[in-house]
Structure 1
């Protein structure tokens, strides 16, 4: 009996173990999910991010500024760089995201998850919304109502307008 096939198998296994896995790093959206947040907190088009897993400090990068309206009453604006700290169910010290309230643009400084609710704080006030409102990522310029003539509901299904 020849030992060559066994030697070849062992050599192949050793070579495979010496090379690191070539799987791609998680996306910014997958990072959000790993901290128990829905992907729809970020608009489509995040091109890069960095995160310090020890401190939770993160930056997410868009190609440029991004703004859109949601449900006809909320206007949101994202700067090219969104930063803050992330931990399970909590985004703090946020910068780069603002919401128009009446005639004023206010910075969203904290986002929390409490069960099936997502809470947004602008410092002086806060509001809670059902988590299923954030299962789909909005698109810059059109939010969830885009060029294709279809309305994409918050929970990811489509209906004709």
Structure 2
């Protein structure tokens, strides 16, 4: 019976360890896939990453807005997408402000020190020096 109790406690111990390591790991995944840390804000609560297919979910403590590369970027509390080397696609939960509205960012790529955000179903894109995204920003 005591063996069963020990076995049940193991997943809880693993979850506690993962929660402590969460902020470092999500940024390591970005770096491994050639993305700068600053494409995500600092208020990450939890994340799930599927190493096999690249699907990810990032949960923030709350919705967040930051200023990055001269634009206001909004992050919903729940962000999903798929990451491979130099490409994040099927992105949900991130938008950039144009005039009075936030346009959803669908894809982000990094090639030759240029970060390109593709918005509005691929009809519009904008490129930036990747060095503008090295700093992790706090929410406004």
Task: State the TM-score, normalized to the length of structure 1.
Answer: 0.69
Q: How many pairs are equivalent?
A: 119
Unaligned runs of 5+ in 1: 1-21, 142-161
Among candidates 112, 116, 123, match of residue 115 of structure 1: 112
Alignment of structure 1 residues 29-40 onto 2, 5 Å: 29-40=27-38
Greater helix proportion: 2
Alignment of structure 1 residues 3-152 onto 2, 5 Å: 24=21, 27-70=25-68, 73-122=70-119, 123-141=122-140
Cα deviation digits, residues 19-76 of structure 1 (max 9, x gap): xxx89575211111111111000011212110111111000110010013345x5111
| Larger gyration radius, structure 1 or structure 2 | 1
Unaligned runs of 5+ in 2: 1-16
2: distance between equivalents of 1:119 and 1:132?
A: 12
Cα distance change, pair 70–51 in 1 and its aligned pair in 2 (3 A): closer
* C-alpha displacement of 1:102: 2.0
Runs of 4+ in 1 over 3 A off after TM superposition: 22-26
* Equivalent position of 1:11 in the other structure: none
2: distance between equivalents of 1:87 and 1:128?
A: 19
* C-alpha displacement of 1:79: 0.4
1: distance between equivalents of 2:136 and 2:43?
A: 9
Q: CA RMSD in A?
A: 1.8
